[in-house]
Structure 1
Amino acid sequence: MQISAAALAKMIDATVDGDPDVIITGPARIEEAGAGQITFLANPVYEHHLYTTKATAVLVSREFKPKTTISPTLLRVDNVYETVSGLLQVYEQTEAAKTPRQVSQHASVEADAVLGINVRIGKFSVVSPGARIGDSTVILDQVFIGPNVQIGADCVLYPGARVMRDCVVGNNCIIHANVVIGCDGFGFLPDTDGIYRKIPQVGNVVIGDEVEIGAGTTIDRATMGSTHIRRGVKLDNLIQIGHNVEIGSNTVIAAQTGVAGSTKIGANCRIGGQVGFAGHLTIADGTNIEAQSGVARHIREPNQAFGGSPASTYQNWIKSALLSHRLPEFYKRLAKLEKMILK
């Protein structure tokens, strides 16, 4: 990526404050940026770095006024964070375009697998019989695509990802390293001797468009039917999604959360890290769950916030947390009262 500040400003509807002819080669953090790189300032906490950064250009808001003379060229925009997000997408696409689209000679692709145009498959990856891979999808090294799997167009599967038999992945999805989609659900039934016998898991996982799944996350196939991850869902690293779970569109879930089987989480929910959901629950659209909460009952009313374990409404949780810090004080007062009564 090489572009002048003036040309970039035209792309992002920015005004240039400084030299419009400087050349920008890529992005960097404001603390670490060097010559040729562009960075940004959105949070005032980092403003002091602006006066020492070696960056060639800095994105700032249109209203920003530096406290002293600075050397980088400023590109002034309406919304810094949105502009940065768009620039990073352009940069990622530019870098990806440098990578040739090809099937490695060390990959194993079955003869009846169907590959779209401009598909790349890396070293030691496996594409099983009946699999279908959409146009311009990138499958990096050591990825396993199981029998009859369908992968949409413009997806990226990072090294070590596993998509097991019969599962479906939509378009424009990102599946990070060591994700497992379609592992068996946790289904066992004790017999008369108390020995747990496995219940066959014959369903699949269906993932909608624009989904991103973080490294090490696992999504169980349904016992029957499908486990559904709807359009636009974003899953962090190390999340466990149980069999027959449904995650509604545009819901985001942070790391180390576990969702037990057959729970239905609505659309546009925000789930903090290390949250645990019991099975067979219904969680309303727009629900917010604080980190480390334990959800053991249905949440029927939409757009509510919950926290704690067991989870309660956010207001009740905060009150309980504050009171818990006073328990030693309450205990001492209770002990004094007991002594007075028993005298």
Structure 2
Amino acid sequence: MSTRLGDLVERLGGRLIGDADKQVVGIAPLSDADASHITFLSNPKFRTQAAQTRAAALILSAADDEVVGPAYPGARIVAANPYAYFARAAQYFALLNAHVPVPGIHRTAFVDPEAQVSASASIGPHAAIEAGAWVGEDCVIGAGCVIGRNARVGAKTRFHPRVTFLDGCRIGERGIVHSGAVIGADGFGFANESGKWIKIPQTGAVTIGDDVEIGANTTIDRGALADTVIEDGVKLDNQIQIGHNCQIGAHTAMAGCVGVAGSAIIGKHCTFGGAAMVLGHLTIADNVHISSGSMVSRSINEPGQYTGFYPLAKNAEWEKSAVIVRNLPSMREKIRELEKNIKSLGEDKE
């Protein structure tokens, strides 16, 4: 389906320069766009390419428009944040072309008589909704999903196929949970007695706010006593592990394979690069940004960018560096001894 540029700008804002009646069908990269597409410029280093794109319209900042505008023949949409505008425009085109699930419960799904499912919700094949569960308006529960006893799914939340959402867990409105995610499995809680492990019952749940997206095969463990908490707007990529009793602050984002150990408290508006690790029982302040592959081994009290890994090197060079690091304690003692000797020589001269 296509839309008028004027309708798009009326919906999303921005300043349109050019033909408001031009019809466009979607968004494409600068290099691939044709006369039926919108494209966007969010990095000034691509200004030359933007001026040559064949797209019908270009989303760009006011600063880029001053440079690119005179050379580009198509329409322009000037926006304060072109990348965010692109994201919202992409959402709009996706909505225009999306398959709309039919409300109702598939004949192969199981819904316990004590569960409550909104008449506007769509329940897919072989889904199971257990006693006391509540599924809100316009929810989509994909094929093979499991919603446990007394779990709650807020309005307009979508579970892709094979999501497991266990007993007592809660998610707010407009959430997206991708296939294979497991929310509410037992946390890793054991007490050691004479060398044997005694399981600690995990009696908390998982509480998730509004507008949260959880990636494929990501796992969020239930709390031991209190709940694990994921606040509004959090974005979790694929294959992330969130341990029991963690708290993830609003609008924090984590890339794939991040691991957060139990009882860590992470602030709002943080970002974590892929494969970053956070040890348990730590506290991380708001607006902290952790580089990919970093290990957070202590609490962080101030916002900023933090990196904790050794730069990549050829193996032979890395082995030499490792030997030096291993010998640092003895080198430190030798330096201290030299400092004492030098001080002693200075005193003798006086």
Paired with 1:304 and 1:23, the residues of 2 have a C-alpha distance of 44
Superposition pairs for residues 137-176 of structure 1, below 5 Å? 137-176=139-178
* Aligned: 1:275 with 2:247: no
* Aligned: 1:86 with 2:54: no
- Tell me how far 1:218 sits from its aligned partner: 0.4
Task: Say which SS state the counterpart of residue 288 (structure 1) adopts.
Answer: strand
Q: Which blocks of at least 5 consecutive residues in structure 1 are unaligned? A: 310-316, 319-323, 332-337, 339-343
Q: 1:100 aligns with which of 99, 102, 111?
A: 102
Structure 2 residue aligned with 1:248:
249
Amino acid at match of 1:227: T
Structure 2 residue aligned with 1:109:
111
- Tell me how far 1:97 sits from its aligned partner: 6.8
- In percent, how many aligned pairs have the same letter? 35
- Tell me how far 1:70 sits from its aligned partner: 4.8
- Tell me how far 1:219 sits from its aligned partner: 0.4
Structure 2 residue aligned with 1:199:
200
- RMSD of aligned Cα (Å): 2.9
Amino acid at match of 1:56: A
Deviates more, 1:233-242 or 1:34-43: 34-43
**Distance verdict in 2 for CA 1:9–1:268, change over 3 Å:** closer
Structure 1 residue aligned with 2:11:
11
Paired with 1:50 and 1:9, the residues of 2 have a C-alpha distance of 20
**Distance verdict in 2 for CA 1:275–1:77, change over 3 Å:** closer
Contact 2:27/2:37 (8 A) holds in 1: yes
Q: Normalising by structure 1, report the TM-score.
A: 0.81
* Aligned: 1:284 with 2:285: yes
Structure 1 residue aligned with 2:179:
177
Amino acid at match of 1:112: E
Paired with 1:201 and 1:108, the residues of 2 have a C-alpha distance of 26
Amino acid at match of 2:68: P
- Tell me how far 1:179 sits from its aligned partner: 1.0
- Tell me how far 1:220 sits from its aligned partner: 0.5
How far does the alpha carbon of each residue in 1:34-60 deviate from its partner, in whole angstroms, 9 at most, with x for none?
Answer: 452222122234345445544333223
Deviates more, 1:92-101 or 1:24-33: 92-101
- Tell me how far 1:235 sits from its aligned partner: 1.4
Paired with 1:82 and 1:137, the residues of 2 have a C-alpha distance of 26
- Tell me how far 1:67 sits from its aligned partner: 8.1
* Aligned: 1:23 with 2:23: yes
Task: Say which SS state the counterpart of residue 46 (structure 2) adopts.
Answer: helix
- Tell me how far 1:266 sits from its aligned partner: 2.1
How far does the alpha carbon of each residue in 1:301-335 deviate from its partner, in whole angstroms, 9 at most, with x for none?
Answer: 232443215xxxxxxx99xxxxx99x76x97xxxx
Task: Say which SS state the counterpart of residue 257 (structure 2) adopts.
Answer: coil
Q: How many residues align?
A: 316
**Distance verdict in 2 for CA 1:14–1:304, change over 3 Å:** closer
Paired with 2:121 and 2:70, the residues of 1 have a C-alpha distance of 51
**Distance verdict in 2 for CA 1:70–1:216, change over 3 Å:** same
- Tell me how far 1:294 sits from its aligned partner: 1.6
Superposition pairs for residues 44-59 of structure 1, below 5 Å? 44-50=44-50, 53-59=53-59
Contact 2:159/2:176 (8 A) holds in 1: yes
**Distance verdict in 2 for CA 1:32–1:175, change over 3 Å:** same
- Tell me how far 1:82 sits from its aligned partner: 2.6
Amino acid at match of 1:130: G
Deviates more, 1:149-158 or 1:139-148: 139-148
Paired with 2:304 and 2:76, the residues of 1 have a C-alpha distance of 41
Deviates more, 1:32-41 or 1:246-255: 32-41
Structure 1 residue aligned with 2:302:
302
Amino acid at match of 1:42: S
Paired with 1:263 and 1:286, the residues of 2 have a C-alpha distance of 16
